[in-house]
Amino acid sequence: MSAIITARGLRKQYGKRSAIDNLNFSIEAGRIVGLIGPNGSGKTTTLKAILGLTSFEGELSVLGMDPRQQRDALMNDICFIADVAILPKWLKVKQALDFVAGVHPRFDRSKAEKYLVQTKLDPEMKVKAMSKGMVVQLHLALVMAIDARLLVLDEPTLGLDILYRKQFYQHLLEDYFDENKTILITTHQIEEVEHILSDLMFIRDGKIELSATMDEVSERYTEVMVEAASLAAAQALQPLHQRAVFGKTIMLFDGVPREQLANLGELRTPALADLFVATMKGSYA
Amino acid sequence: MNTMKWLIKREMWEHKGMLLWTPVVVASLVAILAITSIFLGKNASFADAQQAFSIGTITIEGKARMVMVDTIAHGYIMAAAPVLALLSLLVFFYCLGALHDERRDRSLLFWKSLPVSDTATVTSKAILALVVAPLITMLVAIALALVILVAGCVLLLSHGTNLFGGLLLDPALYLSPLRLLTLLPVYIIWALPTVGWLLMVSSMARSKVFLWAVGTPVITSLLLMWADRILQLGLDGGWFTAHITNRILLGVVPGSWMGFEMDNVLQHVRNEHLAPFESIYYASWHTLTSPSAWIGAAAGLAMLAIAIRMRQRREEV
């Protein structure tokens, strides 16, 4: 399988501060990749570089093209939803459909309309009059009707209530995603995307801290509810992170075989959120 | 080409209120005012160089009526001058916002997520300012002029002076609106520097677009004049004002070329001895023989190119 995105030595400075610093990664086709990091870690800058919305140094190839030089052609194959409310206020639902159908060669209008029927949006409604959730529904309807190879989502569900959020990812998985498509998501709401991701990238201070498939993650990391008697033995294995819950100590181990951990206590696969906290330790210190 | 059609439609959706309804509303107000004043018996007067007619007092017949018909047929479009003057404001403020608002409300990110080049987008905005907006305004102006013409003639008719027959047979009645419309190319050439400048500033400024657009050239002019006066540097502030400041700020005023090329126009009028309104028309076209028209247009295009570059690079504010 060929790589959809390859970055080598990707770098971007804002004044003296570097937003991303020597990023190297590649994303294969047919994956759902979560790019996860704290505020200001360089997530959005990375996405902008991929979308040709910002200048950068280093090498970046997206669908075999350079986003700096070939953005217009690239946009035939990429879709993009930034955090809510980038649709202009004056736009009507009908106009949005007309316009995208007019300029996008891969837009399937009937598909978008089919999706919109399930919502409360009507063709004459203006973005101004919509709730945040409805704006995202409209945007999602537009994007899902475009047969693109790469979908980039930047905090797509920010500020939405739980119903809209669930619905958003559900539609994405059921009606949009297939093996020819690749989805790249940044979000703070890790719990929400945890179950749909196939790959994971943790980014901190403009550097990739962890890049792995979800299978690798569950193989590599183990959480143990350590029995009080085994605390010392567990400490000796150098846990990545430990926390106390209801009087029990939960430790997170990186690369320690499960057989070895089994007699320390109950084992489980860590939630991404916990893994994230462990990995980002000291980010705000 | 198809993309361009949708881009222009898109601009019209966004700015319909400003570009269509403003001239229509202003035209309606002018029409109401004019008609009220006509029928309340105020003495509207039509004047040309030799004679002035005061209507409502006498019945006009014979040669006097022919002169009157001819003057009206040539000049009735001027009744819509307020609407045409409005065009400058519309184009000015449209251009100021064109590339700035989308960055401010972040809709830029949406537009940029579609396969539309920055060149196409900026071009569509320039076309809107230079062609679509003037055409709309001109058509509204022509409609207004016709309404006022008819109202005026009805009033005269009530006093026994029938101008309808004469007017309808006068080719000038039909030529006048055509002349107005065919001045569009002249307008485009003279408005290009201003449209280019405004779109460029709109694409660059992070905030206070109006201040940047107007302040920069005006303050430069004042500084140059001050430096010239006080420091005797021999800088020609007057030249700068006439050739730069005025051209990049006032080019969108319909008829601006009459001011920019006053000598050219006056000379043309003196040499050709045409009737007043014909004279204006041909003199307008004649201003295009001046190199400064084309230098300005080229500068306008260059500034548009910069605006395209800026839109490629600038992120949302």
Query: What was the ipTM of the complex prediction?
Result: 0.85
Domain membership flag for residue A234: yes
Domain membership flag for residue A212: no
Does residue A165 sit in the same domain as residue A136?
Answer: yes
Does residue A181 sit in the same domain as residue A245?
Answer: no
Confidence of residue B45 (pLDDT cuts 50, 70, 90): low
For testing the chain B interface, which of A47, A70, A103 should be mutated: the one with the most B CBs within 10 Å?
Answer: A103
Does residue A273 sit in the same domain as residue A140?
Answer: no
**Pairing label, strands A32-36, A199-204:** parallel
Does residue A184 sit in the same domain as residue A106?
Answer: yes
Given CB atoms, is B272 within the 8 Å cutoff of chain A? no
3-class SS string, chain B = CHHHHHHHHHHHHHHHHHHHHHHHHHHHHHHHHHHHHHHCCCCCEEECCCCEEECCCCCCCHHHHHHHHHHHHHHHHHHHHHHHHHHHHHHHHHHHHHCCHHHHCCHHHHHHCCCCCHHHHHHHHHHHHHHHHHHHHHHHHHHHHHHHHHHHHHHHHHCCCCCHHHHHHCHHHHHHHHHHHHCHHHHHHHHHHHHHHHHHHHHHCCCCHHHHHHHHHHHHHHHHHHHHHHHCCCCCHHHHHHHHHHHHHHCCCCCHHHHHCHHHHHHHHHHHCCCHHHHHHHHHHHHHHCHHHHHHHHHHHHHHHHHHHHHHHCCCC
Does residue A47 sit in the same domain as residue A161?
Answer: yes
Domain membership flag for residue A200: yes
Backbone angles phi, psi at B288, to 5 degrees: -75, -10
Residues of chain A contacting residue B11, judged by C-beta atoms under 8 Å apart: none
Domain membership flag for residue A67: yes
User: Residue A102 and residue B9: Cβ atoms within 8 Å?
Assistant: yes
Residue with tokens 């890790």: A190
Distance CA A214, CA A33 (A): 10
**B160-176 b/e with 16+ CB inside 10 Å = b?**
ebebeebbeebebbebb
Enumerate chain A positions whose Cβ falls within 8 A of a Cβ in B: 48, 51, 53-55, 71-73, 75-76, 78-82, 85-92, 95, 98-100, 102-105, 139
Given CB atoms, is B40 within the 8 Å cutoff of chain A? no
- The kind and range of the H/E element at A151 are strand A150-154
Domain membership flag for residue A35: yes
Backbone angles phi, psi at A265, to 5 degrees: 160, -165
Does residue A34 sit in the same domain as residue A161?
Answer: yes
Backbone angles phi, psi at B150, to 5 degrees: -60, -45
Number of domains in chain A: 2
Answer yes or no: are the C-beta atoms of A223 and A266 closer than 8 Å: no
Confidence of residue B18 (pLDDT cuts 50, 70, 90): very high
Domain membership flag for residue A284: no
- Which tens digit of pLDDT belongs to each residue from B88-129? 999 999 999 999 999 888 888 899 889 999 999 999 999 999
Of A205, A236, A267, the position where a domain reaches its end is A205
Confidence of residue B201 (pLDDT cuts 50, 70, 90): very high
Distance CA A181, CA B214 (A): 49
Q: Which domain holds residue A67?
A: 3-205
- Contact partners, residue B289, CB within 8 Å, separation at least 6: B264
Of A185, A205, A225, the position where a domain reaches its end is A205
Q: Which three-class secondary structure state does DSSP give residue A248?
A: strand
Does residue A193 sit in the same domain as residue A221?
Answer: no
| Residue B232 confidence (pLDDT) above 80 | no
The size of the A-B interface in CB pairs under 8 A is 72
Backbone angles phi, psi at A213, to 5 degrees: -80, 160
How many angstroms from the chain centroid is the CA of residue B70? 25
* Closest by Cβ to B6, choosing from A80, A92, A103: A103
Confidence of residue B209 (pLDDT cuts 50, 70, 90): very high
Q: Which three-class secondary structure state does DSSP give residue A5?
A: strand
Residue with tokens 């809107």: B128
User: Residue B6 and residue A75: Cβ atoms within 8 Å?
Assistant: no
What confidence score (pLDDT) does residue B143 get? 94
What confidence score (pLDDT) does residue B181 get? 93
Query: What is the average pLDDT across B60-86?
Result: 84
User: Residue B115 and residue A102: Cβ atoms within 8 Å?
Assistant: no
| Residue B52 confidence (pLDDT) above 70 | no
User: Residue B13 and residue A78: Cβ atoms within 8 Å?
Assistant: no
User: Residue A79 and residue B5: Cβ atoms within 8 Å?
Assistant: no
Residues of chain B contacting residue A53, judged by C-beta atoms under 8 Å apart: 109, 112, 315
- Which tens digit of pLDDT belongs to each residue from A197-212? 999 999 888 888 888 8
- Contact partners, residue A205, CB within 8 Å, separation at least 6: A21, A41, A42, A283
User: Residue A91 and residue B13: Cβ atoms within 8 Å?
Assistant: yes
Which pTM value belongs to this model? 0.87
Does residue A128 sit in the same domain as residue A52?
Answer: yes
Does residue A141 sit in the same domain as residue A54?
Answer: yes
Distance CA B15, CA B191 (A): 20
Does residue A120 sit in the same domain as residue A254?
Answer: no
Closest residue in A to B16 (Cα) is: A90
CATH of the domain at A94: 3.40.50.300
User: Residue B13 and residue A92: Cβ atoms within 8 Å?
Assistant: yes
Distance CA B263, CA B130 (A): 25
Residues of chain B contacting residue A102, judged by C-beta atoms under 8 Å apart: 2-3, 5-6, 9
Between B22-39 and B81-98, two packed helices, what is the crossing angle to 10 degrees? 160
Of A176, A205, A234, the position where a domain reaches its end is A205
CA-to-CA dists, residue B233 to A8, A23, B218, B226, angstroms: 55, 54, 19, 10
User: Residue B106 and residue A73: Cβ atoms within 8 Å?
Assistant: no
What confidence score (pLDDT) does residue A282 get? 65
Domain membership flag for residue A79: yes
Does residue A30 sit in the same domain as residue A75?
Answer: yes
- Which tens digit of pLDDT belongs to each residue from A11-39? 888 888 888 888 899 999 899 999 998 88
Given CB atoms, is B16 within the 8 Å cutoff of chain A? no
- Contact partners, residue B307, CB within 8 Å, separation at least 6: B99, B122, B196, B199, B200, B202, B203
| Residue A274 confidence (pLDDT) above 80 | yes
Return the higher-pLDDT residue of B23 and B54.
Answer: B23
Distance CA B104, CA A132 (A): 18
Distance CA A200, CA A25 (A): 11
Domain membership flag for residue A285: no
Provide the token pair at B128. 């809107």
In chain B, % of residues over pLDDT 70: 92
Does residue A234 sit in the same domain as residue A129?
Answer: no
